């Protein structure tokens, strides 16, 4: 029963929607229309925008978030534009949504519900679907009361038999529904914990290799960059949250060294905490990475705010201490060099690229190679000259600095990662026995 409760936004040619934003004094200033991002989210969800309303308030109204007068204004606009839904660019409480729906006469969707709908639309793999289902269930649990209408038909209760705000099967049924939903949440968490442990083992199996993770605001160009660097057939689309699943590919650097490069879900401002928690299994690649490439859409007027949003998520998942290069992408769209300087201000290392045209890709590869070198150490091994396989392995996994043949032995001085040096030492010791 509860599985039917989550209200996905229909895509019957595009539901007509009025977009509503509320600006508070604590909100950071943005360039352009503050509702532009909500408009992109709505478009990605298949919604046809028919109007916008923006209100500035000192504090949210407890009952409707924006106040009765403004709610009546939105109701009139919704009727005039024949809107079927009003989408808010804030998170609303169940009570606020219920009160607004009474005033507006149409469905109300808040920012989190819209994002969850988009995630459900783009989930492809079993893992992504489980993660989205968990986030939806956590969102739905405190909101069951206003989503009961499907249950009334099943138990035979007509809507007229219930009071206002109680158009459902009654308290006994909602408690049953809540127990079912809580059980479902527990099951999903167990399944995702199993997947997370498997992903962690997979990430640990790559310990001898250098791993690089692409992170960034949604639609910053991460998948395009992955394709440019690795030649992989990564899914690329000019829309928000085109990628929900981790994609890992081998990237051969100019010095012929191979690293693992991973692309994962894009971040967003005000990304719901329970949504980030649901995607912990996917974000395991980010937490385990040796280096993070923070991809930024340098052409976006609010690039600085987007950088701060990504930094916040990295802190939340415990990856804020990982070495990082800020990759200022889409430089082909930036007219003023000052905009690039401002976007990268305050970051120790930035590289300007265009994943679309290939500009700056060589500089990015060189920067990654430099990070690898800085994380390596040198050692010398004496190996029998006939151990060609081990000598080839050392050349493949590290940089051979010197090689001297004497009395059937080879003195090899190499620079490589510390895990590889430890592995090489064990291999040499095994040969000497």
Domain boundaries in the chain?
Answer: 2-122, 209-373, 376-432
d(C-alpha 333, C-alpha 331), whole Å: 5
What is the pTM for the complete model shown? 0.73
Determine the 3-state secondary structure of 303 from DSSP: helix
What string of DSSP letters covers 15-77?
A: EEEEEEEEE-TTSPP-SS-TTHHHHHHHHHTTEEEEEEEEEE-SS-BTTTBS-HHHHHHHHHH
| Beta strand pairing call for 211-216 and 258-263 | parallel
CA atoms 223, 228, 232, 238: torsion sign: positive
CA-CA distance, 45 to 41, in Å (whole number)?
Answer: 6
Strands 211-216 and 291-297: parallel
Packing angle of the helix pair 94-104, 68-80 (nearest 10 deg): 50
Tokens of 184: 């479902």
- Asked if 151 contacts 3 with a C-beta cutoff of 8 angstroms, the reply is no
Q: Which tokens hold the place of 427?
A: 């291999």
Structural contact between residues 122 and 189, judged by C-beta atoms closer than 8 angstroms: no
Can you tell me the distance from the alpha carbon of 38 to that of 34, in angstroms, rounded to the nearest whole number? Answer: 8
Instruction: List the pLDDT tens digit at each of the 433 positions of the chain.
Output: 344 344 444 444 478 999 999 988 888 877 778 899 899 889 888 899 999 999 999 999 999 999 889 999 999 999 999 999 999 999 898 889 989 999 999 999 999 889 888 888 777 778 778 888 888 888 888 777 655 443 443 444 444 443 333 334 445 677 778 888 889 889 988 888 887 777 667 666 655 578 899 999 988 999 899 989 988 665 444 444 545 456 788 898 988 888 889 888 788 887 776 677 667 666 777 888 889 999 999 998 888 989 998 998 899 888 888 899 999 999 999 888 888 888 888 887 999 999 999 999 999 999 999 998 888 889 999 999 899 899 988 888 788 899 999 889 999 999 888 778 888 999 999 888 7
Tell me how far apart the alpha carbons of residues 401 and 194 are, in angstroms, rounded to a whole number: 43
The architecture in CATH of the region 209-373 reads: 3-Layer(aba) Sandwich (3.40)
Tell me the CA distances in angstroms from 163 to 103, 128, 169, 214, 277, one per residue in order: 17, 39, 11, 52, 37
For residues 348 and 357, give the distance between their C-alpha atoms in angstroms, rounded to a whole number. 25
Stretch (H or E) spanning 415? strand 409-417
- Cα 354 to Cα 85, 215, 219, 249: the distances in Å are 38, 16, 14, 20
The label of the residue with tokens 């534009």 reads 81
Number of H helices, E strands in the chain: 15, 13
Q: In CATH, what is the architecture of 2-122? A: 3-Layer(aba) Sandwich (3.40)
Same fold yes or no, 2-122 and 209-373: yes
The verdict on domain 376-432 having CATH code 3.20.16 is no
C-alpha to C-alpha distances, 178 to 133, 175, 315, nearest whole angstrom: 15, 5, 32
Distance separating alpha carbons of residues 43 and 33, to the nearest angstrom = 16
């Amino acid at each position: 029963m509860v599985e039917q409760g989550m209200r996905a936004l229909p895509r019957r040619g595009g539901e007509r929607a009025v977009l509503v934003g509320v600006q508070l004094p604590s909100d950071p200033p943005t360039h352009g229309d503050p509702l532009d991002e909500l408009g992109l989210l709505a478009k990605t969800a298949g919604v046809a925008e028919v109007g916008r309303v923006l209100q500035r308030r000192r504090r949210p109204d407890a009952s409707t978030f924006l106040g009765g007068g403004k709610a009546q204004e939105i109701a009139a606009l919704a009727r005039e534009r024949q809107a079927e839904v009003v989408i808010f660019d804030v998170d609303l409480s169940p009570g606020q949504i219920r009160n607004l729906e009474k005033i507006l006469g149409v469905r109300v969707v808040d920012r989190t519900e819209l994002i969850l709908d988009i995630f459900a639309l783009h989930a492809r793999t079993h893992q992504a679907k489980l993660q989205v289902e968990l986030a939806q269930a956590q969102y739905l649990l405190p909101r069951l009361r206003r989503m009961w209408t499907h249950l009334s038909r099943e138990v035979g209760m007509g809507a007229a038999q219930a009071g206002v705000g109680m158009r459902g099967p009654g308290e006994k049924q909602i408690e049953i529904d809540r127990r079912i939903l809580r059980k479902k949440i527990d099951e999903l968490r167990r399944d995702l914990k199993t997947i997370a442990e498997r992903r962690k083992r997979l990430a640990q199996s790559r310990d001898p290799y250098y791993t690089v993770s692409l992170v960034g605001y949604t639609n910053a160009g991460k998948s395009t960059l992955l394709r440019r660097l690795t030649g992989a057939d990564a899914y690329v689309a000019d829309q928000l949250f085109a990628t929900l699943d981790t994609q890992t590919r081998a990237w051969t650097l100019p010095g012929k060294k191979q690293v693992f490069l991973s692309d994962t879900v894009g971040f967003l401002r005000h990304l719901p905490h329970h949504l980030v928690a649901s995607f912990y299994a996917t974000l395991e690649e980010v937490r385990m990475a040796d280096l993070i490439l923070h991809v930024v859409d340098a052409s976006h007027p609010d690039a600085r705010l987007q950088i701060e949003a990504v930094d916040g998520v990295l802190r939340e998942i415990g990856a804020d201490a990982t070495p990082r290069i800020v990759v200022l992408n889409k430089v082909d769209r930036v007219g003023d060099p000052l905009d690039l300087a401002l976007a990268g201000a305050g970051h120790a290392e930035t590289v300007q690229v265009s994943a679309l045209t290939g500009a700056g890709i060589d500089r990015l590869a060189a920067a990654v190679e430099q990070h690898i070198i800085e994380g390596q150490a040198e050692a010398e091994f004496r190996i029998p000259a006939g151990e060609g396989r081990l000598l080839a392995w050392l050349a493949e996994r590290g940089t051979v600095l010197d090689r001297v043949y004497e009395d059937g032995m080879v003195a090899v001085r190499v620079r490589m990662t510390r895990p590889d040096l430890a592995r090489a030492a064990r291999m040499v010791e095994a040969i000497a026995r």
